[in-house]
Amino acid sequence: MDTIDRIGINGSDALLVIDLQNDFMPGGALAVPYGNEVVPVANALMRHFANVILTEDWHPAGHLSFASSHAGKGVFETIALPYGDQVLWPDHCIQDSKGAELHAGLETWRAQLIVRKGYRPHVDSYSAFTEADGKPTGLTGYLRERGIRRVFMCGLATDYCVLWSATSARKERFGVIVVGDACRAIDLNGSLASARSEMEKVGVGMTHSGAILAP
């Protein structure tokens, strides 16, 4: 991905902060290594944007993406579902649970919108824009009505929800820039390298938070 050195932010830009929830933090049910390191960087970035959106995984108990919902299947196995291949995850981000809560240190009051995804029992959703079966979440329409043309992204995890959100946003013809040092990856079987390659192919830019936070 192209490195973008200095970036000016204006009213047609939005920051999408992806899934900074307890279950993705160290000690959580689906911990992303060093995921907690993203929180202070995300806070600093949010202070520079007039338009901030947060996302949350919001699964009902017994969700189809959980390994516990499939007899004889283990965590991180892949199965075929009507909407495509599905990685089976540990039970995580269950609605109204402590694990589903956003990290206590995240400055959530800076956001105008929280998008919840994966709340349908039989369909997963990595992307903030579309669920796994292609149904829209409504975020595209929200951004367009707000006059947003470019979306910056940070959060967890680079190789799943950040990747899917970034590629979905490009399909909707938004400019997309991922803030690399404000993301962390699961990196399951080389998924991080694959994610970077896929984002590059569809024109997702990559930058460092310093390019935005610099005076």
Evaluate whether 17 touches 23 at the Cβ level (below 8 Å).
no
Buried b (16+ CB within 10 A) or exposed e, 176-198: bbbbbebbbbbbeeebbeebbee
Which residue numbers are catalytic? 19, 117, 161
Report the pLDDT value the prediction gives residue 26, as an integer from 0 to 100. Answer: 97
Report the pLDDT value the prediction gives residue 146, as an integer from 0 to 100. Answer: 96
Evaluate whether 102 touches 39 at the Cβ level (below 8 Å).
no
pLDDT per residue as tens, the chain (215 positions): 444 467 899 999 999 999 999 999 999 999 999 999 999 999 999 999 999 999 999 999 999 999 999 999 999 999 999 999 999 999 999 999 999 999 999 999 999 999 999 999 999 999 999 999 999 999 999 999 999 999 999 999 999 999 999 999 999 999 999 999 999 999 888 889 999 999 999 999 999 999 999 87
Report the pLDDT value the prediction gives residue 2, as an integer from 0 to 100. Answer: 45
Report the pLDDT value the prediction gives residue 5, as an integer from 0 to 100. Answer: 64
Q: What is the pTM of this model?
A: 0.94
Reference 16, options 132, 114, 98; nearest CA is 114
Task: Report the C-alpha gap between 5 and 85 in whole angstroms.
Answer: 37
Domains plus CATH for the chain?
Answer: 13-213 (3.40.50.850)
